[in-house]
Amino acid sequence: MKWSRCVQAWRSAQRSVYLLAVAATCCGAFPHQTLAGQVQAYVVFEVGASSTESAVEEKLRGTSLSNCKQLIIGSHLRDVFVHIACDEPDRGDSYLDQALVRLSRTDGIARATIVSLKRGN
């Protein structure tokens, strides 16, 4: 009885060492992907005189942004408050810049003002 338990333990240890070696080889063989940084911004969009806040909110909400997400926080008087979060690539171009240009060209927007900008994950 004792001998069979010892043999089973030895085989289990060998199997564990083999699996550990395979896992270590695989982890070293494949490059690790780096996570892109994220940029968040709060933007105030001033609604033009010819539009209503609700119409502009719907247009801003419906605008498709490539690597960004927008959240309409609310509106007050003629202003619409939006939170934008973008993944930023390692190269020079900025998805946040593209998103701000696309959103500021929405019909009914008179002006866009960045209130807060935060980098990080």
Domain check: are 94 and 62 in the same one?
yes
Domain check: are 15 and 51 in the same one?
no
CATH of the domain at 99: 3.30.70.60
Domain check: are 52 and 98 in the same one?
yes
pLDDT at position 26: 46
Which residues are within 8 A (CB) of 102 and not within 5 positions of it... i.e. 6 or more apart? 63, 65
Which residue has 């994950």 as its token pair? 121
pLDDT at position 34: 47
**C-alpha span between 42 and 103 (Å, rounded):** 13
Query: DSSP strand E in 9-103: where?
Result: 37-47, 68-76, 79-88
SS3 state of residue 97 = helix
* Reported pTM: 0.66
Domain check: are 42 and 23 in the same one?
no
**Which residues of the chain register pLDDT less than 70?**
1-36, 90-93, 121
pLDDT in tens, 57-86: 999 999 998 889 999 999 888 999 999 999
